[in-house]
Amino acid sequence: MVRALPIPLAAPLPAPLLSLLATYRLLVNEVIREALSTGQTSLGKLSRFARTRAFVHQLTGTHAITASTVALSILKSHRKRLRHGLPCRAPYVRRAFLRADDASFHVDPIPQRIRVSLRSGVWSSFPIVVSEYHRKVLATPGLRIKQLHLTPDRVVLLYEKPAPTPYAPTALLALDTNERSLDGVCVTPSGTRAAVLKFPEIAVIQQRHVTRRRRLARRKAHDRRVGRRLLRSEGRREHDRVTSRLHVLTKRLVEVARKHRAALALEDFTKVAARRATRRAKSLGTSRPFARGRAGSGIRSKPLRRRLSSWPRAELHRQLAYKAAERGVPVVWVDPYRTSVTCPKCGVYNGPRSRMGPTFECVACGWRLDRQLNAGANVGRIALRETAELGGLKLDLDALSDDAVRPRYPFQGLGRARAERKEREGIVTTARRVRRVST
């Protein structure tokens, strides 16, 4: 897995490196122009062009190859915008930067410097601040430094480290992703329990920032330059507040799953997007994979569409995925198709309108459950069906429908639930009997 490690600069970059960054930007723009004028999209041909230009600018050939890769990725998103019919101009890089691969730079943690190759045999170096944390990361066994991303005020190292092999799970934690919570089931050999992780504050923060940005935009309507700057910093503040909360949430969840040797089951939203695109292409009678038009824009109101598109579920899943891979927690990705409108008990599809209301009620068998928990139960059912390693586990739906069940944090009170059921069934454990006698 590839991770990023930002490193603070100890002093401003020296002049030769600043000029390297400026030349590199020039080179990327030249490759972009060449590709646009010739319609070239192959890395091999563009790198050959970039090498001749790098020779003119007196740069190392390795910089030319990364410059072509950067140019190609910029052009790829440009072509995507064109395909979607979005307004766009020919791409042009304005900021000086450098992307160097591992052959053209060296990190020296002892004198705390990074050396970068300018041209054949000529190097320039700059001082960095190496903290205890950086030393720890760089000392990871099996670590490979891949790339250096450099701008005049930012240094980021990309490194690859081997991921541990996931353990064989003995439990399952299946969760349905909702706007203010993750809801689902916790299946262990000793029983099934409803699980919920609430994060209502994220939606609240987003709403607060929306109103704040609106007010700012209104107040600064006469000065677009200042308005744009203020809005950007306001947006960044919102982003930071939301992601930091997500980090706390996902770290704790992955830790809990690891402690109980559970596999995580989550919905794979990429499948939804792919299905929607093909369905739309079919309805338009074209073979274009990306047809324009918002799904359900006629049904959903504008505030709802805004809320749904700013909902950070992709970020939540991204964090869960990489943290789970890092800690060796297996993740099962489940196709969420109809998980919120299907009965987990009898498997009957209840039609699109059954998504409404706080409770899911099956038209065929009368099964009732909280709508969000029900979707989580379906995710669990599919994960158990599709994963052979989870063969020993059984989803006990009746344990969920018990009126006494209040969803808790995953794995909390699992033992207690068993004790309660035993007590109901007339099996009283000795400890309880003793206590009863004494009172």
Q: Which residues bind Zn ion (CB under 5 A)?
A: 343, 345-346, 348, 362, 364-365, 367
Nearest approach, Cβ of residue 349 and Zn ion (Å): 10
Query: Contact, 124 vs 79, CB < 8 A?
Result: no
Cβ-based nearer residue to Zn ion, 274 or 363: 363
Q: How far apart are CA 137 and CA 11, in angstroms?
A: 22
Cβ-based nearer residue to Zn ion, 114 or 379: 379
User: Which structure tokens are listed for 346?
Assistant: 């009898």
Nearest approach, Cβ of residue 339 and Zn ion (Å): 14
Nearest approach, Cβ of residue 275 and Zn ion (Å): 24
Cβ-based nearer residue to Zn ion, 49 or 367: 367
For residue 337, the 8-state DSSP code is T
- Residue ranges of E strands in 199-239: none
Residue whose pair of structure tokens reads 């099962």 in the numeric block? 332
Nearest approach, Cβ of residue 369 and Zn ion (Å): 10
Sign of CA dihedral 93, 96, 101, 103: positive
Nearest approach, Cβ of residue 345 and Zn ion (Å): 5
Q: 226: helix, coil or strand? A: helix
Cβ-based nearer residue to Zn ion, 361 or 389: 361
Q: What number of H helices and E strands is found in the chain? A: 13, 14
Nearest approach, Cβ of residue 344 and Zn ion (Å): 8
Q: 195: helix, coil or strand? A: strand
Cβ-based nearer residue to Zn ion, 284 or 365: 365
Cβ-based nearer residue to Zn ion, 129 or 365: 365
User: Which structure tokens are listed for 154?
Assistant: 């930012």
Closest to 197 measured CA to CA, from 263, 250, 258: 250
Torsion of the alpha carbons at 230, 235, 237 and 243, rounded to the nearest 10? -170
